[in-house]
């Protein structure tokens, strides 16, 4: 009996030693981390504050421990804390969330936060741990790139507009004098200029979106007229494909017409780009209760399930043999989904590799009886 209790005493001491060693090790890791590591209780009161937190936010541990974390949150972002707490109380975890925080000197910094619940031995959430990384420099770099892209795109627009008008002028003249060679060549140039204009517009839109500055210019318009225009334009631009379309029932939409046209044009040009010449592209426009559902269906290469999940990300392009010679920047679908998101709509894709793809979205019909 005695031997047994001595053994368990020794075992207990060993365990305690191990646990305290682990504790020291963890503390050393936390202290030497380049990221700010902070813990707080469920009332948002700071309970620990590492050296990098001190460097990042300017407060000493003595100044922060026991103080509300709200001290670091800019006034216009106070709601974040409530939302995060609600999510974590349900057992969730907030990963790489980009936001802004305010330092002791009042400077606003960009941070990426990872927040996890801290549980006691019985699994009950007793607090939260926050890992913050200063991404101010990264954000500035992004901003510089954005400004550059916006400036270049803007500068390219002016000469392109002038090229476009001269082509129109020459084209008219070539047609008048029945110069078939000239007409043909100028039509091709015109097509390429249109492509370039679209690319430049997409780049400008991309930088506007990044800045959160893409205003919608909404108006009410007839969906039937809108779709008829889109399809007749597509029939000219995508002449090597067979466009199938049965006019849609009329309804009134309240949307940014130009942006919606941009979405449709993008889906149609993708349908042609990723399918073989001579195949059919079907455009559907169906009324489902108080909504109009638009679909663009192709018989092209299709997209596998893994790529479908990432298709609407900025710069995402599907790799592989079939797509390697097809040019593009991977921003078209990102812009479509963002434009639709601004209209409270969601773009969806259904696809089977080798059989084709269907891109769809719905828009609310304006209730004329209101
Ligand atoms: P881009 O066509 O310029 O690369 P998008 O953002 O329009 O950029 O499309 C992203 C990617 O999605 C494309 O690179 C392509 O791999 C895939 N994709 C888009 N539309 C289709 C389609 N209709 N069929 C097959 N793949 C498509």
Tokens coding 19: 């646990």
Cα(338) to centroid(ligand 1), Å: 15
Q: Is the CB of 262 under 6 A from ligand 1?
A: no
Tokens coding 351: 């696809």
Nearest to 203 by CA among 334, 304, 87: 334
Cα(107) to centroid(ligand 1), Å: 42
Nearest CA to ligand 1 atom 2: 328
User: pLDDT (tens digit, 9 = 90+) per residue, 248-280?
Assistant: 889 999 999 999 999 999 999 999 999 999 999
Residue 172 has pLDDT above 60, yes or no: yes
Nearest to 149 by CA among 103, 200, 90, 83: 200
From 9-23, 179-193, 263-277, 292-306, the region with the lowest mean pLDDT: 9-23
Distance CA 184, CA 253 (A): 38
Q: Given the DSSP bridges, would you call strands 219-222 and 252-255 parallel, antiparallel or unpaired?
A: antiparallel
Nearest ligand 1 atom, CA 300: 24
From 10-14, 227-231, 332-336, the region with the lowest mean pLDDT: 10-14
Are the C-beta atoms of 116 and 82 separated by less than 8 Å?
no
For a pocket test of ligand 1, which of 330, 351, 353 has the largest count of ligand atoms closer than 8 A to its C-beta? 330
């Amino acid at each position: 009996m005695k031997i047994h209790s001595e053994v368990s005493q020794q075992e207990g001491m060993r365990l305690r030693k191990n646990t305290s060693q682990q504790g020291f090790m963890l503390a050393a890791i936390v202290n030497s981390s380049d990221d700010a590591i902070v813990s707080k209780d469920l009332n948002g009161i700071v309970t620990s504050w590492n050296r990098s937190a001190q460097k990042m936010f300017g407060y000493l541990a003595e100044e922060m421990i026991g103080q509300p974390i709200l001290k670091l949150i800019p006034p216009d972002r106070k709601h974040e804390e409530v939302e995060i707490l609600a999510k974590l109380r349900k057992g969730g975890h907030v990963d790489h969330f980009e936001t802004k925080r305010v330092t002791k000197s009042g400077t606003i910094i960009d941070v990426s936060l990872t927040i996890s619940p801290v549980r006691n031995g019985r699994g009950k959430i007793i607090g939260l741990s926050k890992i913050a990384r200063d991404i101010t420099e990264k954000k500035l770099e992004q901003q510089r790139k954005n400004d550059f892209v916006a400036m270049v795109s803007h500068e390219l627009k002016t000469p392109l507009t002038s090229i476009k008008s001269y082509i129109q002028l020459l084209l008219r003249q070539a047609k008048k004098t029945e110069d078939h060679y000239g007409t043909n060549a100028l039509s091709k140039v015109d097509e390429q200029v249109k492509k370039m204009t679209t690319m430049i517009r997409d780049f400008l839109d991309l930088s506007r979106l990044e800045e959160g500055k893409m205003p919608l210019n909404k108006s009410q318009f007839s969906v039937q007229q809108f779709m008829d225009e889109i399809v007749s334009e597509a029939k000219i631009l995508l002449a090597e494909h067979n466009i199938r379309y049965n006019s849609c029932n009329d309804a009134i939409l309240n949307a940014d017409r130009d942006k919606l046209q941009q979405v449709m044009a993008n889906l149609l040009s993708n349908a042609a780009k990723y399918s073989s010449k001579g195949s059919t592209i079907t455009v559907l426009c169906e009324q489902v209760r108080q909504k109009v559902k638009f679909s663009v269906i192709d018989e092209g290469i299709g997209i596998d399930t893994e790529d479908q999940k990432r298709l609407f990300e900025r710069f995402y392009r599907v790799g592989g043999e079939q797509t390697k010679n097809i040019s593009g920047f991977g921003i078209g679908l990102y812009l479509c989904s963002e434009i639709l998101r601004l209209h409270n709509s969601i773009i969806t894709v259904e696809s089977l590799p080798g059989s084709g793809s269907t891109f769809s979205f719905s828009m609310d019909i304006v209730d004329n009886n209101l």
